[in-house]
Structures are given as C-alpha cells and as structure tokens.
Amino acid sequence: VAKRLEKFKTTIFTQMSMLAIKHGAINLGQGFPNFDGPEFVKEAAIQAIRDGKNQYARGYGIPDLNSAIAARFKKDSGLVVDPETEVTVTSGCTEAIAATILGLINPGDEVILFAPFYDSYEATLSMAGADIKCITLRPPDFAIPINELRSAISKKTRAILMNTPHNPTGKMFTREELNEIASLCIENDVLVFSDEVYDKLAFEMEHISVASLPGMYERTVTLNSLGKTFSLTGWKIGWAIAPPHLTWGVRQAHSFLTFATNTPGQWAAAAALRTPDSYYVELKRDYAAKKQILVEGLKEAGFKVFPSSGTYFVVVDHTPFGLENDIAFCEFLIKEVGVVAIPTSVFYLNPEEGKNIVRFTFCKDEGTLRSAVERMKAKL
Ligand code: GLN
C-alpha cells in the first residue's frame, strides 16, 4: 500500500459491522438506517431507469438536481447560489470532501481538523499531502477552544475542515462559535470546508450553515448529501456548494475521481429534494422518539451520556464498567452483551484522547433500539 495510506486500517465502521454479523450482535455501530427510504424517492429512481436515464450524467450534475440543491440551500440558509456554476453533484459527501481537498489543497498546506473527526478526513488529507493540525473538542460539551484554534492558525493554514451537526459527538456549532471561526478565517484568509450531512437532524438548536455568515460564502465549501436525510445511505449522492472560484477546483478533482455520479440516482435525488418541508418535520419527530429510547436506556444501563444536539449519534463515557479502553469495551459489549458500538479513539490523532468514549447510533427501528437497551440493562 502507498505510504500515504500506510497508517490507515480497515475502517472502524466496516470492522464493527463485520463483528456484528459474526457475533449476531445488534448493530448500533455503523450509521445506516435499518429501515428503508421513502417510496416516492425509490419510485423516482425506478422510473428514471425505465425512462432510459442510464448513460453518463453531465459531469457536475443533471440540471434538475443542481437546481433542486440550490433551491433547498436557499430555503435552509437564505443564500442564493447559481446551480450552474456553484453546485457540483458527487458520489456521496465522502467524494465531495475528497474533491474539495484534492481540488483546493496543495501538498504542505496546513488544514485544521476538530477531533474527534470523521475518519475519511484524515485519510483524504493524507492523500493530498496536507499537514494536519488538530484541535480537540472535549467532553462534556465538546465546545471549541477558540484560543487553541487561534494559535493553531499560521501563514501556512489553508483551510478548516469542520462538521456540524458533528459526527461522532452530536455537538452542534453555536452561532458564537461560528462567528469566532468566521472572523479568524476572514482575518487570516483561510477557507472553510463544512460537512453538514446531518443538518436535518438538528434536535436541540437550529442548524446554521457557516457559509451564511457575513463574508463567509466566498471562502466556504458547503458539503451535503441525500443519504442521512432520506435514509438512503447506499445511494451515495452528495454535493458541494461553493462560489465559482472554489467550485472550479472541486470540479477539476471530481472530473478525474468519478467524472459523474449515477444518473437515475440523480433524478430521484431531485425528486427527493423537492419534497414539502413536512417530510423533514416528520423525519425529525421519528428520530427524536428513537433518540429518547436510546438515551434513556443508556442512562438506565449505567453509562454517563454526553448531551447530543444533532446527528443520529450519541457518545457516552464507558468507564463506569471498568474496561481499560474504548476498544476493549466495544469488544466486551459485542461478545458478552450482544450490542455493537463504535470506539472513538480512531477519530483522534492521539488515540488516548478517545479511550473513554464510545458512540452509539439510534438510526434503527424502535424495536431494535429497545432490544439493544434491554440487553445492556440486563448484562452490563
Ligand atoms: N457515516 C457513517 C458513520 O459514521 C459510516 C459510513 C462508513 O461506513 N464509512 O457511522
């Protein structure tokens, strides 16, 4: 394997889902719903296939989807963007992140991450030859240590790669935090790459796109996808929204990574994004009920549960159960209890920082969540 990828192992999500199958454990690890996406979106994909929409799409997205993304972004953030020059459709948000990094970051540029971070960020920055600077968000509230962020910024800092609502912690960046980030970026001419795939799962506060802050649109790439919002994580439809001068870089990388994203999926995505807002209200209501089952259950089972404001994840402190670290705890949980969680130490540059924390997801039907909770209450 190439040196730039030597330190990375099989992703923790793949490892844990394989163990779940092997041990017949309930999988509250990898974040994928165990229920299906909406019928009308699936129908739209089937119809597109029947209608012969099966050849390469336009590289940066079928016009219909680019327009639907721009319309949705206007409703959500108030920003008016040109679907033709500021929206790029990609094969999932993970590709949008890769295209953004590979299209806009030079080897040796510094990029700031907040730990714990989603695993693809570090691997993709490594592929781009970027220097990673990491700021750790600490429990219980995972607030941004603004002074640390300020001192991490140097002349070589090209971008901050952030994620709100935040996987794995469920933290949402507050308006105050976003204002601080914005003023640091403007002052030091730094870009922001903002992964907002959980924006529709904001429970405790309003989601704010950093691009909507004064002076930020011109220096921000906003990244999103269909998967979480429409419970279709296997479709891999994502996008990047950015002003034309940044979109140019994103598109250059995208052209040579995947060239274009699957065509019928794009037609269906356009239909999905045009759904009335009531869909999102219902989605959130369903997830709020699931969240309550899991959070209450984890507390009753004896975990110290950290507050999660958004995403379909919640992190806990497992140390009341006396295992030495997050990996040992997750192994114990799979083998002795029959439940899968995700150890978080892999989401830090320094694994020690995550050794007390594990992540559970509640993107499962209520029966599954109840059985997992029962197992933990009985056996922990
Ligand atoms: N985003 C999903 C999670 O955090 C995992 C996706 C993957 O398996 N790479 O659980």
Residue 299's closest CA among 368, 365, 360? Answer: 360
Looking at 232, 255, 273, the residue that finishes a domain is 273
Residue to mutate, 18, 30, 167, 235, ligand 1, most ligand atoms under 8 Å from C-beta = 30
Q: What is the pLDDT of residues 309-338, one digit of tens each?
A: 999 999 999 999 999 999 999 999 999 999
User: For residue 170, what is the domain's CATH number?
Assistant: 3.40.640.10
The fraction of the chain above a pLDDT of 70, given in percent, is 100
Q: What is the pLDDT of residues 130-185, one digit of tens each?
A: 999 999 999 999 999 999 999 999 999 999 999 999 999 999 999 999 999 999 99
**ipTM for the complex shown:** 0.95
Token pair belonging to 167: 């996987």
**64 shares its domain with 169:** yes
**224 shares its domain with 339:** no
Distance of alpha carbon 88 from alpha carbon 4, whole angstroms: 27
Residue to mutate, 9, 13, 314, 358, ligand 1, most ligand atoms under 8 Å from C-beta = 13
Ligand 1 center to 88 CA (angstroms): 22
Q: What is the pLDDT of residues 226-276, one digit of tens each?
A: 999 999 999 999 999 999 999 999 999 999 999 999 999 999 999 999 999
Q: Which atom of ligand 1 lies closest to the CA of 361?
A: 10
Count of domains for the chain? 2
Ligand 1 center to 238 CA (angstroms): 14
Ligand 1 center to 215 CA (angstroms): 32
**125 shares its domain with 249:** yes
**110 shares its domain with 228:** yes
Q: What is the pLDDT of residues 83-138, one digit of tens each?
A: 999 999 999 999 999 999 999 999 999 999 999 999 999 999 999 999 999 999 99
Give the pLDDT of residue 354. 98
Q: What is the pLDDT of residues 290-307, one digit of tens each?
A: 999 999 999 999 999 999
**282 shares its domain with 334:** yes
Ligand 1 center to 245 CA (angstroms): 30
Ligand 1 center to 13 CA (angstroms): 6
18 is in which domain, residue-wise? 3-30+278-379
Q: Which atom of ligand 1 lies closest to the CA of 31?
A: 10
User: For residue 13, what is the domain's CATH number?
Assistant: 3.90.1150.10
**367 shares its domain with 266:** no
